[in-house]
Chains A and B, each alone.
Chain A
Amino acid sequence: AQTVTQSQPEMSVQEAETVTLSCTYDTSESDYYLFWYKQPPSRQMILVIRQEAYKQQNATENRFSVNFQKAAKSFSLKISDSQLGDAAMYFCAYSLYSSASKIIFGSGTRLSIRP
């Protein structure tokens, strides 16, 4: 069975600084997606970034980038130039490489931004 583990329940960062959120996962599959989702107090899950397992290049979306280590089954999220609007719950997630597949989420990391 696939599992996703986030070992940091809470993180805090100074505004404009950089923070890294950690995630490990377990799977026996070779083709899959990994994601980071943001969930603000409004409860709506927002996709931040996606990584295909077959791609060696780390995904980047503006201030958000990942460090994908397939052999180590590690998938961390780096947020550069942190902004107050980045404060939220962040979930690491996994799904099979399929046109339609359930998403398996980690337990989340609450990120707070210090002004």
Chain B
Amino acid sequence: GAGVSQTPSNKVTEKGKYVELRCDPISGHTALYWYRQSLGQGPEFLIYFQGTGAADDSGLPNDRFFAVRPEGSVSTLKIQRTERGDSAVYLCASSSKYPTSGGYNEQFFGPGTRLTVL
């Protein structure tokens, strides 16, 4: 596809359940980022992949959150034992290893997955 895609668009789950959120980056983009946007707030960084490896996971809030990118393309964010406080929009972004305009590697965002934990 032309842009970053995320599935599902919306996910409703019950407290304590396990969820997986998927991100398909722009083809050929080596860097992939996950952000979490709580209601009325700006996005907050969770984790960044360069290829298959997590280069920076300092934003993951606790060990219930985990993300993988096994083949360096699609990434899955996994949340165990969901809590009501996990309700948010989860945004994914990707960028090329090669700078675009002005020497900057622009991050292109997907439409996000809205997670609601009841």
Residues of A within 8 A of B (CB): 4, 33, 42-47, 50, 52, 91, 93, 99-100, 102-108
Flag if B112 contacts A43 (CB, 8 Å): yes
Cα distance A107–B42 in the bound complex, in angstroms: 5
Residues of B within 8 A of A (CB): 31, 33, 35, 40-45, 48, 50, 55-56, 59, 89, 91, 93, 95, 97, 99, 102, 104-107, 109-112, 114
Cα distance A44–B35 in the bound complex, in angstroms: 12
Flag if A107 contacts B97 (CB, 8 Å): no
Kindly count the residue-residue contacts between A and B in the assembled complex, taking CB atoms under 8 Å apart.
55
Tell whether A100 pairs with B111 under 8 Å between CB atoms, given A91-B42, A105-B43.
no
Query: Which chain B residues border A107 with CB–CB below 8 Å?
Result: 40-42
Flag if B31 contacts A100 (CB, 8 Å): yes
> Which of A33, A42, A102 touches B59 (beta carbons < 8 Å)?
A102
> Which of A42, A43, A108 touches B42 (beta carbons < 8 Å)?
A108
Query: Which chain A residues border B31 with CB–CB below 8 Å?
Result: 100
Cα distance A13–B59 in the bound complex, in angstroms: 36
Query: Which chain B residues border A47 with CB–CB below 8 Å?
Result: 106
Tell whether A100 pairs with B105 under 8 Å between CB atoms, given A44-B111, A44-B112, A45-B91.
yes
